[in-house]
Amino acid sequence: MNFMAIFDKSVWQYLLEPKSTRTDRSRLAVVWCRWKAHPCGVWYVNTSGYEPNMHCKNCEDDLG
């Protein structure tokens, strides 16, 4: 994340908005994963990997 982005209001709104899915992950884990821009990416439903689930592997936040 860009250093100057920490002063932008919209960045803080995104980081602190409620979790988009019901998950057992803590709120802090979701904020930390959002700060790192969801580094692990999305889940893939089938074995060939052509149908994305669009939920983050780490925090289960909806990315779609």
**Does residue 47 form part of some domain?**
yes
**Closest residue by Cα to residue 23 from 63, 59, 64:** 59
Number of folded domains that form the chain:
1
Confidence bin at 4 (pLDDT 50/70/90) = low
State which residues form the domain around 37.
24-64
Q: Note the pLDDT of residue 1.
A: 56
**Does residue 4 form part of some domain?**
no
Give the mean model confidence (pLDDT) for residues 9-15: 82
**pLDDT above 70 (res 37):** yes
For the stretch 10-22, what's the b/e string if a residue is b when 16 or more beta carbons lie within 10 angstroms of its beta carbon?
ebeeeeeeebeee
Give the mean model confidence (pLDDT) for residues 2-27: 76
d(CA 54, CA 33): 15
Q: Note the pLDDT of residue 35.
A: 87
pTM of structure: 0.67
SS3 at position 37: coil
Q: Note the pLDDT of residue 2.
A: 60
